Amino acid sequence: MKISEHELQNLVTCAALAATRAGEFIARSRPERIERKSGGDTHASQIVTDVDRRSQEIILETLAPTVARFDLGVLAEEQHDDGLRLSKDYFWSIDPLDGTLPFVESRPGYAVSIALVARDGVPLLGVVLDPVDGVLYQAARGAGIDRNGEPWTAAPDRSSRTLALFSDRSFAATAEYAPFVAGLGRVARDLGLTGVDIRPTAGAVMSACGTLENPLACYVKFPKTRPGGGSLWDFAATACLFHEAGYVVTDIHGGQLDLNRADSTFMNHRGVLFASTTELAARIRALRP
Protein backbone atom coordinates (compact mmCIF):
# COMPACT_ATOMS: atom_id res chain seq x y z
CA MET A 1 0.00 0.00 0.00
CA LYS A 2 1.15 3.55 -0.72
CA ILE A 3 1.61 5.87 2.26
CA SER A 4 0.18 9.36 1.70
CA GLU A 5 1.94 12.59 2.68
CA HIS A 6 -0.50 13.04 5.57
CA GLU A 7 0.09 9.50 6.79
CA LEU A 8 3.84 10.00 6.48
CA GLN A 9 3.65 13.04 8.74
CA ASN A 10 1.70 11.01 11.28
CA LEU A 11 4.40 8.33 11.13
CA VAL A 12 7.06 11.00 11.76
CA THR A 13 5.12 12.04 14.86
CA CYS A 14 4.91 8.43 16.03
CA ALA A 15 8.61 7.83 15.41
CA ALA A 16 9.47 11.04 17.29
CA LEU A 17 7.38 9.83 20.24
CA ALA A 18 9.14 6.46 20.18
CA ALA A 19 12.58 8.09 20.04
CA THR A 20 11.68 10.51 22.84
CA ARG A 21 10.44 7.73 25.11
CA ALA A 22 13.54 5.66 24.45
CA GLY A 23 15.81 8.68 24.87
CA GLU A 24 14.25 9.56 28.22
CA PHE A 25 14.90 6.01 29.40
CA ILE A 26 18.51 6.09 28.17
CA ALA A 27 19.14 9.47 29.81
CA ARG A 28 18.29 8.12 33.25
CA SER A 29 19.99 4.73 32.82
CA ARG A 30 23.40 3.19 33.24
CA PRO A 31 24.24 -0.28 31.87
CA GLU A 32 24.00 -3.15 34.31
CA ARG A 33 25.04 -5.81 31.77
CA ILE A 34 27.59 -5.38 28.99
CA GLU A 35 27.81 -8.28 26.55
CA ARG A 36 29.68 -9.17 23.38
CA LYS A 37 27.93 -9.88 20.10
CA SER A 38 29.20 -11.28 16.82
CA GLY A 39 29.23 -9.77 13.36
CA GLY A 40 31.16 -6.51 13.66
CA ASP A 41 34.93 -6.29 13.42
CA THR A 42 35.51 -3.39 15.84
CA HIS A 43 35.11 -3.14 19.59
CA ALA A 44 32.37 -0.52 19.19
CA SER A 45 30.29 -2.86 17.02
CA GLN A 46 30.70 -5.85 19.33
CA ILE A 47 29.20 -4.55 22.56
CA VAL A 48 25.56 -4.46 23.60
CA THR A 49 23.95 -3.61 26.93
CA ASP A 50 20.67 -4.16 28.70
CA VAL A 51 19.93 -0.49 27.99
CA ASP A 52 20.18 -1.08 24.22
CA ARG A 53 17.67 -3.91 24.49
CA ARG A 54 15.18 -2.08 26.69
CA SER A 55 15.36 0.99 24.46
CA GLN A 56 14.49 -1.23 21.50
CA GLU A 57 11.53 -2.71 23.38
CA ILE A 58 10.21 0.80 24.10
CA ILE A 59 10.51 1.77 20.44
CA LEU A 60 8.87 -1.41 19.15
CA GLU A 61 6.01 -1.09 21.65
CA THR A 62 5.37 2.48 20.47
CA LEU A 63 5.57 1.65 16.77
CA ALA A 64 3.59 -1.62 16.96
CA PRO A 65 0.23 -0.06 15.88
CA THR A 66 1.88 1.39 12.75
CA VAL A 67 3.35 -1.99 11.82
CA ALA A 68 -0.11 -3.53 11.86
CA ARG A 69 -1.85 -0.56 10.21
CA PHE A 70 0.54 -0.23 7.25
CA ASP A 71 1.85 -3.80 7.02
CA LEU A 72 5.43 -2.69 7.67
CA GLY A 73 8.58 -4.72 8.00
CA VAL A 74 10.91 -4.13 10.93
CA LEU A 75 14.69 -4.12 10.91
CA ALA A 76 16.06 -3.45 14.40
CA GLU A 77 19.65 -3.82 15.50
CA GLU A 78 19.08 -6.04 18.52
CA GLN A 79 16.88 -8.61 16.84
CA HIS A 80 17.24 -11.08 13.98
CA ASP A 81 16.70 -9.75 10.45
CA ASP A 82 13.66 -11.73 9.32
CA GLY A 83 14.01 -10.56 5.71
CA LEU A 84 10.56 -9.00 5.53
CA ARG A 85 12.18 -5.68 4.64
CA LEU A 86 12.84 -7.20 1.23
CA SER A 87 9.20 -8.03 0.52
CA LYS A 88 7.24 -5.29 2.31
CA ASP A 89 6.64 -1.93 0.64
CA TYR A 90 8.20 -0.15 3.65
CA PHE A 91 10.07 -1.08 6.80
CA TRP A 92 11.14 0.56 10.05
CA SER A 93 14.93 0.74 10.42
CA ILE A 94 15.74 1.10 14.11
CA ASP A 95 18.94 1.70 16.04
CA PRO A 96 17.82 1.85 19.68
CA LEU A 97 21.18 3.10 20.97
CA ASP A 98 23.76 4.03 18.38
CA GLY A 99 27.12 4.76 19.96
CA THR A 100 26.95 2.14 22.71
CA LEU A 101 30.68 2.53 23.34
CA PRO A 102 30.53 6.25 24.24
CA PHE A 103 27.40 5.49 26.28
CA VAL A 104 29.25 2.84 28.28
CA GLU A 105 32.16 5.26 28.71
CA SER A 106 29.79 8.04 29.89
CA ARG A 107 30.74 10.28 26.97
CA PRO A 108 28.46 12.16 24.56
CA GLY A 109 28.09 10.69 21.08
CA TYR A 110 25.16 8.29 21.35
CA ALA A 111 21.63 8.58 20.00
CA VAL A 112 18.33 6.92 19.15
CA SER A 113 17.75 6.59 15.41
CA ILE A 114 14.54 5.59 13.59
CA ALA A 115 13.80 5.65 9.86
CA LEU A 116 11.06 4.47 7.54
CA VAL A 117 12.64 3.05 4.39
CA ALA A 118 10.94 2.10 1.12
CA ARG A 119 11.69 -1.26 -0.46
CA ASP A 120 13.97 0.44 -3.01
CA GLY A 121 16.16 1.73 -0.17
CA VAL A 122 14.95 5.34 -0.15
CA PRO A 123 14.50 6.69 3.41
CA LEU A 124 11.09 8.39 3.65
CA LEU A 125 11.42 9.69 7.18
CA GLY A 126 14.20 10.05 9.71
CA VAL A 127 14.14 10.78 13.43
CA VAL A 128 17.19 11.16 15.68
CA LEU A 129 17.17 11.93 19.40
CA ASP A 130 20.34 12.97 21.22
CA PRO A 131 19.68 11.99 24.87
CA VAL A 132 22.62 14.06 26.15
CA ASP A 133 21.57 17.49 24.85
CA GLY A 134 17.92 16.61 24.31
CA VAL A 135 18.01 17.58 20.62
CA LEU A 136 15.39 15.97 18.38
CA TYR A 137 15.85 15.99 14.62
CA GLN A 138 13.03 14.84 12.37
CA ALA A 139 12.37 14.90 8.65
CA ALA A 140 9.98 13.51 6.05
CA ARG A 141 10.80 13.18 2.37
CA GLY A 142 10.02 16.44 0.62
CA ALA A 143 8.88 18.22 3.79
CA GLY A 144 12.14 19.62 5.18
CA ILE A 145 13.85 19.06 8.50
CA ASP A 146 12.82 20.12 12.01
CA ARG A 147 15.10 20.58 14.99
CA ASN A 148 13.34 20.50 18.35
CA GLY A 149 10.01 21.04 16.64
CA GLU A 150 11.04 24.06 14.58
CA PRO A 151 11.87 24.18 10.86
CA TRP A 152 15.63 24.19 10.57
CA THR A 153 18.07 25.38 7.94
CA ALA A 154 21.76 25.08 8.67
CA ALA A 155 23.20 28.58 8.50
CA PRO A 156 26.91 28.91 7.60
CA ASP A 157 29.14 30.01 10.46
CA ARG A 158 31.53 32.47 8.88
CA SER A 159 33.75 32.46 12.01
CA SER A 160 34.79 28.82 11.59
CA ARG A 161 38.21 28.43 9.99
CA THR A 162 38.60 24.66 10.08
CA LEU A 163 37.20 21.68 8.23
CA ALA A 164 35.59 19.22 10.66
CA LEU A 165 36.22 15.53 10.02
CA PHE A 166 33.93 13.15 11.90
CA SER A 167 35.13 9.56 11.87
CA ASP A 168 34.89 6.27 13.71
CA ARG A 169 37.51 5.74 16.38
CA SER A 170 38.77 2.65 14.54
CA PHE A 171 39.53 4.68 11.38
CA ALA A 172 42.82 5.89 12.87
CA ALA A 173 44.16 2.32 12.90
CA THR A 174 43.67 1.80 9.15
CA ALA A 175 46.24 2.22 6.38
CA GLU A 176 43.98 4.79 4.67
CA TYR A 177 43.90 7.14 7.64
CA ALA A 178 47.17 9.08 7.38
CA PRO A 179 47.07 9.66 3.59
CA PHE A 180 43.43 10.70 3.77
CA VAL A 181 43.95 13.18 6.61
CA ALA A 182 46.96 14.66 4.78
CA GLY A 183 44.89 15.01 1.62
CA LEU A 184 42.00 16.55 3.54
CA GLY A 185 44.44 19.06 4.97
CA ARG A 186 45.31 20.13 1.43
CA VAL A 187 41.61 20.43 0.64
CA ALA A 188 41.12 22.63 3.71
CA ARG A 189 43.95 24.94 2.63
CA ASP A 190 42.56 25.13 -0.90
CA LEU A 191 39.27 26.27 0.62
CA GLY A 192 41.05 29.00 2.60
CA LEU A 193 40.83 27.22 5.95
CA THR A 194 43.54 26.75 8.54
CA GLY A 195 43.33 22.96 8.81
CA VAL A 196 41.32 19.92 9.81
CA ASP A 197 39.57 19.41 13.15
CA ILE A 198 39.37 15.63 13.68
CA ARG A 199 36.50 14.39 15.84
CA PRO A 200 36.65 10.58 16.25
CA THR A 201 34.56 10.10 19.38
CA ALA A 202 30.88 9.69 18.43
CA GLY A 203 28.81 6.88 16.96
CA ALA A 204 27.73 6.97 13.32
CA VAL A 205 24.45 8.80 13.97
CA MET A 206 25.90 11.64 16.05
CA SER A 207 28.87 11.91 13.67
CA ALA A 208 26.40 12.57 10.86
CA CYS A 209 24.46 15.03 13.02
CA GLY A 210 27.73 16.75 13.92
CA THR A 211 28.33 17.19 10.20
CA LEU A 212 24.88 18.77 9.90
CA GLU A 213 25.67 21.20 12.71
CA ASN A 214 28.98 22.41 11.27
CA PRO A 215 29.42 24.87 8.38
CA LEU A 216 32.00 22.75 6.56
CA ALA A 217 32.29 19.13 7.66
CA CYS A 218 32.24 15.51 6.61
CA TYR A 219 31.78 12.01 7.97
CA VAL A 220 33.57 9.31 5.99
CA LYS A 221 33.71 5.51 5.98
CA PHE A 222 35.86 3.85 3.33
CA PRO A 223 34.87 0.52 1.79
CA LYS A 224 36.41 -2.63 3.20
CA THR A 225 36.22 -6.30 2.32
CA ARG A 226 35.99 -7.70 5.86
CA PRO A 227 32.54 -8.43 7.29
CA GLY A 228 31.27 -5.81 9.69
CA GLY A 229 31.13 -2.05 9.69
CA GLY A 230 28.31 0.43 9.74
CA SER A 231 24.87 -1.08 9.24
CA LEU A 232 21.65 -0.04 7.51
CA TRP A 233 20.17 1.24 10.77
CA ASP A 234 23.23 3.45 11.39
CA PHE A 235 22.60 5.60 8.31
CA ALA A 236 18.94 5.40 7.27
CA ALA A 237 17.56 8.19 9.49
CA THR A 238 20.45 10.60 8.98
CA ALA A 239 20.33 9.98 5.22
CA CYS A 240 16.80 11.40 5.26
CA LEU A 241 17.90 14.36 7.41
CA PHE A 242 20.73 15.17 4.98
CA HIS A 243 18.47 14.92 1.94
CA GLU A 244 16.01 17.36 3.48
CA ALA A 245 18.78 19.73 4.62
CA GLY A 246 20.19 19.81 1.09
CA TYR A 247 23.47 18.24 2.20
CA VAL A 248 25.32 15.37 0.52
CA VAL A 249 24.85 11.73 1.51
CA THR A 250 26.16 9.03 -0.82
CA ASP A 251 28.37 6.00 -0.89
CA ILE A 252 32.06 6.78 -1.35
CA HIS A 253 31.67 6.63 -5.15
CA GLY A 254 28.80 9.14 -5.25
CA GLY A 255 25.98 6.61 -5.60
CA GLN A 256 22.80 6.27 -3.55
CA LEU A 257 23.25 4.50 -0.23
CA ASP A 258 22.13 0.88 -0.45
CA LEU A 259 19.77 1.09 2.52
CA ASN A 260 17.97 -2.17 1.78
CA ARG A 261 20.92 -4.33 0.83
CA ALA A 262 19.66 -7.84 0.13
CA ASP A 263 22.73 -9.88 1.03
CA SER A 264 23.76 -8.16 4.27
CA THR A 265 22.79 -5.45 6.74
CA PHE A 266 26.35 -4.10 6.67
CA MET A 267 27.34 -1.04 4.64
CA ASN A 268 31.05 -1.80 4.38
CA HIS A 269 30.86 -2.80 0.70
CA ARG A 270 30.69 0.71 -0.81
CA GLY A 271 31.56 3.05 2.04
CA VAL A 272 29.63 6.09 3.23
CA LEU A 273 30.08 9.83 2.76
CA PHE A 274 28.18 12.61 4.51
CA ALA A 275 29.30 16.13 3.56
CA SER A 276 28.04 19.66 3.94
CA THR A 277 28.65 20.73 0.32
CA THR A 278 28.85 19.10 -3.11
CA GLU A 279 32.30 20.62 -3.68
CA LEU A 280 33.66 19.09 -0.49
CA ALA A 281 32.11 15.72 -1.34
CA ALA A 282 33.73 15.75 -4.79
CA ARG A 283 37.13 16.57 -3.34
CA ILE A 284 36.81 13.78 -0.77
CA ARG A 285 35.89 11.24 -3.45
CA ALA A 286 39.05 12.23 -5.30
CA LEU A 287 41.09 11.33 -2.19
CA ARG A 288 39.69 7.84 -1.80
CA PRO A 289 42.16 4.93 -2.07
Q: Which domains does the chain have, with CATH numbers?
A: 5-151 (3.30.540.10), 162-287 (3.40.190.80)
Reduced DSSP (H G I as helix, E B as strand, rest coil) percent helix, strand, coil of the chain, to 5: 40, 25, 40
Q: What distance in Å separates the CA atoms of residue 200 and residue 217, rounded to the nearest whole number?
A: 13
Buried b vs exposed e over 29-55: b needs ≥16 C-beta within 10 Å? bebeeeeeeeebebebbbbbbebbbbb
Arithmetic mean of pLDDT, 37-61: 80
Q: What angle do CA 89, 241, 182 make, to 5 degrees?
A: 120
Q: What distance in Å separates the CA atoms of residue 20 and residue 47, rounded to the nearest whole number?
A: 23
Q: What percent of the chain has pLDDT over 70?
A: 94
The answer on pLDDT for 200 being more than 60 is: yes
Q: Is 90 helix (H, G, I), strand (E, B) or coil?
A: strand
The answer on pLDDT for 41 being more than 70 is: no
Q: Are 229 and 222 in contact (CB under 8 A)?
A: no
Question: What long-range pairs does 33-42 form, CB within 8 A, spacing at least 24?
Answer: 34/104, 39/227, 39/228, 39/266, 40/228, 40/229, 41/226, 41/227, 41/228, 41/229, 42/168, 42/169, 42/170, 42/228
Q: Which of 35-39, 140-144, 178-182 has the lowest mean pLDDT?
A: 35-39
Q: Compute and round to an integer the Cα radius of gyration of the chain.
A: 18
Confidence of residue 257 (pLDDT cuts 50, 70, 90): very high
The answer on pLDDT for 158 being more than 80 is: no
CA-wise closest residue to 140 among 244, 245, 283: 244
* One-letter identity of residue 207: S
Arithmetic mean of pLDDT, 266-276: 92
Confidence of residue 188 (pLDDT cuts 50, 70, 90): very high
